[in-house]
Amino acid sequence: MASTAPPLLLLHRLPEFSLPFVSVLQTEFTVLDPLADPPDPSFPALSSSARVVLCVGPSPLTSDDLDRYNAVECVVGSSAGINHIDLAACRRRGVRVTSGGDAFSDDVADYAVGLAIDVLRRVSAADRFVRAGSWPVQKEYALGSKVGGKRVGIVGLGGIGLRVAKRFEGFGCIISYNSRHVKSQVPYTYCANLVDLASNNEILVVCCALTNDTYHVINKDVMTALGKNGIIVNIARGAVIDEKELVELLVRGEIGGAGLDVYEHEPHVPDEMLKLDNVVLSPHRAFLTPDSFAALEKVVVGNIRAFFSEKPLLTEIELDI
Amino acid sequence: MASTAPPLLLLHRLPEFSLPFVSVLQTEFTVLDPLADPPDPSFPALSSSARVVLCVGPSPLTSDDLDRYNAVECVVGSSAGINHIDLAACRRRGVRVTSGGDAFSDDVADYAVGLAIDVLRRVSAADRFVRAGSWPVQKEYALGSKVGGKRVGIVGLGGIGLRVAKRFEGFGCIISYNSRHVKSQVPYTYCANLVDLASNNEILVVCCALTNDTYHVINKDVMTALGKNGIIVNIARGAVIDEKELVELLVRGEIGGAGLDVYEHEPHVPDEMLKLDNVVLSPHRAFLTPDSFAALEKVVVGNIRAFFSEKPLLTEIELDI
């Protein structure tokens, strides 16, 4: 009997939007939910023998969690950035980790370009202007800045960064990038230093993972090098940018503008930003479309199935930290 | 003496934003301004012998104007669309007409793509949501719709339409188009019928000139064919779309959304639109950046110089109407 019973699948505090997933998973797995209401009396016993834990959404998975679920061999993550999972602890315990892979990459890249156009051409500001009834009254309107042909610097040329680059190429933009390693197969200029990347470009798009190495890597020096005609787009993680410095530079007009989908202390957005006309603010949703969910479901279910059938995981992370 | 005097250049009601032009032109031409304050006493005599009239901005140039300025041989227009110039009257009188050519095409195409992303991914709506302080309170947020890979139908594949197509290609979108003529050199599918174009696509981008043939050519049937998952972007002229029908379809949710830079009765924007969350509204400014002005100045001055030196005009319009 035991060999044909559905494998145990442990959930780790799932946000509401992931509920459709669960019903799919329940057809194949015995799904263990720590937040079940009413609580599942078999949870304590079963959770200690579950080999896979699924983490959808931003809830941290800590070393303590892994202590509690001590049979876990694989953490199936669901986002592009997996900084909320304690990767060092996973590595120490020999726990494998998967990410959402490229399920969200197209959507995030689309959104990054949308934010850049919006900031430069003041699209949301124009929408506010028209909705406020200002057009018939105040006929002239502050000009934006051209997008086509601009120099775009990309921080992190992974699945998302590459897609951002490809999109900007269609606008006649010139692409350069910074990344952990030089990518020999891309036609873009590598720039080893972020201050140089910023000073050589007019649009800086932050696409890298948040790690110990990238925390606040976009600091005052980098942003000052970008300058008052430069704009910054962040669709990665808030803490890649030193947000306090960003706010000050924006308020003083020392950088040209920002399109932000992520913040250091979400859902908190610094008050000063809410008043600025040269920023476009978005509630961490660059990755969110019905299509990206469908793609994610495929990756998540695929990884869980692969684990239990001892096949290669689809989107395993290299734990070289 | 007469042969070396600067040629006469007649202005036709210039909007304020074109003033920087005038100072450039005054270095080469005797500029005649009907709105000069105080009035120029030599205007009536000189204007009747001016061979070139410059039209910047949307003020109509009518048959009556041409009657008054009866020595005019060339109307130098400055916009991409020149529906405000009475082209039939120009043709009858053998008056040549130039447009702004592609001075604005990149900027308009950039903006068109920006509007499409904004409508589909709800960028301006997200910005409103964050600025209103709703994020910490109301954590879940209505999803938008994917951009990458969508089918894009372009109405009018001229300088702007081609640039819109090229940009959407970078997003992995599939392009088809309707145009007066099949363009044999482009890799996009031609569609002779607008209802078919709309029903085969999810994004319809209106890029054609406004002429008698294109007035209200985007009618109820076309928009209904686009359907409730389709969006329309208009950066051409308001009257290419039957705006009354557009508003009704939007209000009833029978088309998915709209990104509009132009309207039938500018600066009037239908009240119903101001309340909708699935539209992005912009005050006819897709063409407006400092860069497009610089490019336009080149085209305008180039056309005027070409006329007086009897060289080919840079951006002459074919008056086949």
Please, is A42 exposed, middle or buried when counting C-beta atoms within 10 Å of its C-beta (0-12, 13-18, 19+)?
exposed
Q: What is the mean pLDDT of residues B276-282?
A: 96
**Is residue B18 pLDDT above 80, yes or no?**
no
Q: For B164-218, what is each residue's pLDDT tens digit?
A: 999 999 999 999 999 999 999 999 999 999 999 999 999 999 999 999 999 999 9
Look at residue B232 in the predicted model and tell me its pLDDT: 98
- Tell me which of A1-15, A80-94, A122-136 is least confident: A1-15
A170 and B CB contact within 8 Å: yes
8-state DSSP, A138 = S
Look at residue A139 in the predicted model and tell me its pLDDT: 63
Look at residue B89 in the predicted model and tell me its pLDDT: 95
What phi and psi values does residue A22 have, to the nearest 5 degrees?
-60, -40
Look at residue B246 in the predicted model and tell me its pLDDT: 98
Q: Which of B133, B170, B282 sits opposite A170 (nearest CB)?
A: B170
Measured in Å, how far apart are chain B's first and last C-alpha atoms? 41
Q: What is the mean pLDDT of residues A93-112?
A: 95
Question: How many angstroms away from the CA of B32 is the closest CA of chain A?
Answer: 24
Q: What chain A residue is nearest to B262 in terms of C-alpha separation?
A: A130
User: Which of B13, B102, B137, B147 would best serve as a mutation to test chain A binding (most A beta carbons within 10 A)?
Assistant: B147
Q: How many CB atoms lie within 10 A of CB B213?
A: 10
- Contact criterion met (CB < 8 Å) for B123 and A141: no
DSSP strand pairing (B151-155 vs B96-98)? unpaired
Could you tell me what percent of chain A has a pLDDT over 90? 83
Look at residue B49 in the predicted model and tell me its pLDDT: 94
Residue among A72, A155, A90 nearest A317 (CA): A90
Q: CA quadruple B275, B281, B283, B284: dihedral positive or negative?
A: negative
Please, is A259 exposed, middle or buried when counting C-beta atoms within 10 Å of its C-beta (0-12, 13-18, 19+)?
buried
**Is residue B138 pLDDT above 80, yes or no?**
yes
Angle at which helices B105-121 and B290-308 cross, to 10°:
150
Residue among B163, B193, B187, B183 nearest B175 (CA): B187
- Tell me which of A138-142, A295-299, B81-85 is least confident: A138-142
- Contact criterion met (CB < 8 Å) for A146 and B16: no
pLDDT tier at B262, thresholds 50, 70, 90? very high
For the record, the structure tokens of B308 come out as 């007086």
Q: Is B121 a catalytic residue?
A: no
8-state DSSP, B61 = B
CB contacts, 8 Å: B169 with chain A = 170
What is the edge-to-edge ordering of all strands in the sheet holding B8-11? B30-32, B8-11, B52-55, B74-77, B96-98
B221 and A CB contact within 8 Å: no
Q: Which residues contact A214 (CB under 8 A, 6 or more apart)?
A: A156, A208, A240
What is the value of pTM for the model shown?
0.92
Q: Which of B266, B268, B272, B285 is catalytic?
A: B266
B149 and A CB contact within 8 Å: yes
- Tell me which of A102-116, A168-182, B1-15 is least confident: B1-15
Could you tell me what percent of chain B has a pLDDT over 90? 83
Look at residue B3 in the predicted model and tell me its pLDDT: 53
Question: How many angstroms away from the CA of A135 is the closest CA of chain B?
Answer: 6
Window 45-74 of B, Cβ < 8 Å to A: none
Contact (Cβ atoms closer than 8 angstroms) between residue B51 and residue B8: yes
Cα gap B168→B154, rounded to integer Å: 11
B150 and A CB contact within 8 Å: no
Q: What chain A residue is nearest to B139 in terms of C-alpha separation?
A: A267
Q: Which of A96, A237, A243, A245 is catalytic?
A: A237
pLDDT tier at B139, thresholds 50, 70, 90? low
pLDDT tier at A87, thresholds 50, 70, 90? very high
Q: Which of A128, A266, A268, A272 is catalytic?
A: A266
Residue among B186, B179, B182, B255 nearest B221 (CA): B255
Q: For A6-50, what is each residue's pLDDT tens digit?
A: 899 999 987 776 777 788 899 999 999 998 889 999 999 999 999
How high is the mean pLDDT of chain B?
93
Q: What is the mean pLDDT of residues B299-306?
A: 95
Look at residue A3 in the predicted model and tell me its pLDDT: 54
Q: Which residues contact A289 (CB under 8 A, 6 or more apart)?
A: A107, B121, B143, B144, B145, B146
- What amino acid occupies position B245? E
Cα gap B180→B156, rounded to integer Å: 7
Q: For A226-257, what is each residue's pLDDT tens digit?
A: 999 999 999 999 999 999 999 999 999 999 99
Measured in Å, how far apart are chain A's first and last C-alpha atoms? 41
- Tell me which of A28-37, A54-63, A82-91, B139-148 is least confident: B139-148
Q: Is B237 a catalytic residue?
A: yes
Q: Which of A143, A167, A280 sits opposite B171 (nearest CB)?
A: A167
Q: Which of B135, B140, B285 sits opposite A17 (nearest CB)?
A: B140
Look at residue B131 in the predicted model and tell me its pLDDT: 96
Angle at which helices A290-308 and A105-121 cross, to 10°:
150
A264 and B CB contact within 8 Å: no
Residue tagged 């040209």 (tokens)? A256
Q: What is the mean pLDDT of residues A60-78?
A: 94
Q: What is the mean pLDDT of residues A52-58?
A: 89
pLDDT tier at B1, thresholds 50, 70, 90? very low
How high is the mean pLDDT of chain A?
93
**Is residue B274 pLDDT above 50, yes or no?**
yes
